[in-house]
A and B are shown apart, each in its own frame.
Chain A
């Protein structure tokens, strides 16, 4: 059963520390999305990639967030330095062009 895998599932870190979240998209999918979910803002699109190239990262705070796809099986989202307002659930999703996205279980990040 193909699925999007995200690690870690939970992360608690201190303010100022670097946080790296990882995502393994479904094999064969050429589009990867990163979303952030909070009570106040709902699901916000942070960035997305097509064939490993970033298409749009306008939803990300550029000074502290970065997203990459080192290869087709791995997408990463880094926050450096982390702040309490970054506490949220971060979702990775993958899909093909103009089709639905398949979501991972999310990484719940708490910055204290």
Chain B
């Protein structure tokens, strides 16, 4: 069965600190993977995507993610967070039949 797991419901980091949000997927074939961000009262915005090729992908707002097949992971990173990064982050995977399935999300809190 297809699933996406985001083990951390909440993460708190200080402004300027580095960030890593975890995502694990279960899927037999090479997955298509996404990270989205949702600010309060807004829809979801795509941060980055992985389809194939280079396993380190760059996204908007200074985010990057690394696909690791051996660990079935697609973790999101940012070297230095800003207060405006406080939001909810969703990892998603495309199933073979082109459904996009989302994890439960990780809410990021930023300490001043």
Distance in Å: Cβ of A1 to nearest Cβ of chain B: 13
In the complex, the answer to whether B46 meets A43 with C-beta atoms within 8 Å is no
Q: Are B43 and A56 in touch, CB under 8 angstroms?
A: no
CB pair A91–B103 under 8 Å, yes or no, is: no
- Enumerate A51-80 residues with CB–CB distance to B below 8 Å: 55-56
> Which size class do B's interface residues fall under?
20 to 34
Known A42-B105, A103-B45: A98·B94 in contact at CB below 8 Å: yes
What is the total of A-B residue contacts with beta carbons within 8 Å? 46
Answer whether residue A2 sits at the interface, using C-beta atoms and an 8 A cutoff: no
| A105 and B105 within 8 A (CB) | no
Residues of B within 8 A of A55 (CB): 97-98
Given known contacts A31-B98, A98-B32, A91 and B43 CB-to-CB distance under 8 angstroms: yes
> How far, in angstroms, from A104 to B43 measured CA to CA in the complex?
6
Report whether A42 and B104 are in contact in the complex, using a CB–CB cutoff of 8 Å.
Answer: yes
Residue A25, interface by CB 8 Å: no
Q: Is the interface of B mostly helix, strand, loop or mixed?
A: strand
Contact B44 A91 (CB under 8 A): yes
Contact digits for A82-112, partner B, Cβ 8 Å, 1 yes 0 no: 0000000001010001101111111000000
Contact call B99/A48, Cβ cutoff below 8 A: yes
27 A-B pairs with C-beta separation under 8 A: A35-B102, A42-B105, A43-B102, A43-B105, A45-B100, A45-B101, A48-B99, A56-B99, A91-B43, A91-B44, A93-B44, A93-B100, A97-B98, A98-B32, A98-B94, A98-B98, A100-B34, A100-B46, A100-B49, A100-B100, A103-B36, A103-B44, A103-B45, A105-B42, A105-B43, A106-B42, A106-B43
| Chain B positions near chain A (C-beta within 8 angstroms) | 32, 34, 36, 42-46, 49, 51, 90, 94, 97-105
Q: A interface vs B, CB < 8 Å?
A: 4, 31, 33, 35, 42-43, 45, 48, 50, 55-56, 91, 93, 97-98, 100-106
Given contacts A42-B104, A98-B94, A104-B43, 15 further A-B contacts (CB under 8 A): A4-B43, A33-B100, A42-B102, A42-B103, A43-B105, A45-B99, A45-B100, A91-B43, A93-B100, A98-B32, A100-B100, A101-B100, A103-B44, A105-B42, A106-B42
